[in-house]
Structure 1
Amino acid sequence: MTVYGIGLGPGDADLVTVKGKRALESVETVYSPGRLSRSVALEYVDESKIGDLDFPMTRDPEKLRSAWKEAAAEVASEAHEDDVAFVTLGDPNVYSTFGHLRRTLETFHPEVELEVVPGVSAMTAFATALGVEVEAGTGLALREAANGTAPTGPDRMILFKVTDAPATYEKLTEAGYDIRFGRRLFMEQGETVVTDDPAEIDERDYYTLAYAEREDLERDLATAEFDVDDDADTDTELEGTA
């Protein structure tokens, strides 16, 4: 049987992919690492199909490894009988807890088949929510910015885990970046906030990201600027030949 790692998207049940929905509906048990992913999964499966796994709130590596070994054993046992799923917000391969389960299963239960169903990640959803175009030829770096850190260097960055927005904002503006923040983008749980004012999101929230772009960044796009006067002259000439 198969264990599906299913990406549920950023938190809006309508953004679950068609393939993800079909996989959810086809399995016998759906495991979730947290309350938010569970609530999205419940839009497509009955609560009776939800399996429980215990993940301790700790950074102790030994306790974490022990917890994931127990979780993998539970999932593998169920997968010997029927297909099962492990769901996660975003995409299973982007900042996801599914990676821990995949590595543990591959190590201790190599007989279990694994299949990943990708989902819409915050890395792509941010572009729509913040009104940012990632055009052809763009260099875009992905960085973490937890606890007020502010990585610099690339011209354009997506910053994940922005848990101290004011500190990150101050450091990046001093380094010459324009910054916009997005919190709980496309999430049905909590308030979605898009702002360039860090004071609006000064409380800690794991589901906060930022888009940083150098102030002097130049773009060379054919359609970046149109000369309205030239367009008007062209239209007049075309009308005269009609």
Structure 2
Amino acid sequence: MLVAVGIGPGDPELLTVKAVRLIQEADQVFVPGKVAKEIISPYRKDPVVLSFPMTDDQEYIKRCIEENADKIAPVAKNGLAVFCILGDPNFYGTFGRLCSVLDEKYPEIEYETVPGVSSITALASAAGIYINGGIEISDGSETDCRILLKVRKPRQKAEELKKEGYSNFILAERMYMSGQRIYRNDSLPEESAYFSVLFAGK
């Protein structure tokens, strides 16, 4: 089993309790560089540092990711491998590309993610910003997804978004709470709880 754990924006005390537990229980921990190694150092002293180069050379990046997958695979096949990622593993991280390689070379390996404090929420705290209205977040590329909070009529909202070119919808209701439900596309309910988040992708 491979678990990607978000380790937050830099402060070791901003790791979640679950992240710390998994890091301590893992058969082997992997980190994508010295910064991540330093962040988890209060909880684990023996991580394997992997190379994820900051470059535009896509062939070189792909080669490095394949090499990293080969290092992780033996541990993930036989025990618990934990891969620590700055911020949150599902927000602009390297884990998605690693999973693509694993799916191709090691389809028997199961993986999941544990959320961490992302740079988005960390910025609001560090800068003393209170966000209560709509926001737009981008890495500079064309926007191909939207996330809407507190969606009480998800099916109606999905129909509205289809007119803007969105076609893939996922509703998370009461996520990480008792009664969590995940709905996709045609299964979206007419109404949902206050604690609901709707993902819309093109």
Q: Which runs of 5+ in 2 are unaligned?
A: 143-202
Once residues 104 and 112 of structure 2 are traced to their aligned partners in structure 1, the CA distance between those partners, rounded to angstroms, is 16
**CA distance in structure 1 between the aligned counterparts of 2:74 and 2:109, rounded to whole angstroms:** 10
Relative contact order: is structure 1 or structure 2 higher (C-alpha 8 Å, sep ≥ 6)? 2
Larger Rg: 1
Partners of 1:79 and 1:109 in 2: CA distance: 10
1:141 is matched with: 136
Residue among 121, 125, 134 paired with 1:124: 121
Match of 2:121, SS?
helix
Contact 2:5/2:19 (<8 A) preserved = yes
Select 2:60's aligned residue among 63, 71, 95.
63
Moved over 6 A (4+): none
Q: RMSD across aligned C-alpha pairs, in angstroms? A: 1.9
- Per-residue CA shift, 1:7-46, capped at 9, x if unaligned? 0011101000011111111101111111111111111112
* Identity percentage of aligned residues: 37
Aligned residue pair count: 142
Question: How many Å separate the matches in 2 of 1:13 and 1:28?
Answer: 21
- Counting only pairs closer than 5 Å after superposition, residues 71-220 of structure 1 correspond to structure 2 as 71-135=68-132, 138-144=133-139
Seen in structure 2, the aligned counterparts of structure 1 residues 13 and 102 have a Cα distance that, compared at 3 Å, is: same
TM-score between both structures, scaled by the size of structure 2: 0.65
Contact 2:5 2:84 in 1 (8 A): yes
TM-score by structure 1 length? Answer: 0.55
Going from structure 1 to structure 2, the CA distance change for 1:144 and 1:57 (only over 3 Å counts) comes to closer
Unaligned runs of at least 5 residues, structure 1: 152-242
Does residue 23 of structure 1 match 2:18? no
Post-superposition shift, 1:94? 0.8
Residue aligning to 2:7: 8
CA drift at 1:56: 4.1
What SS does the aligned partner of 1:54 have?
coil
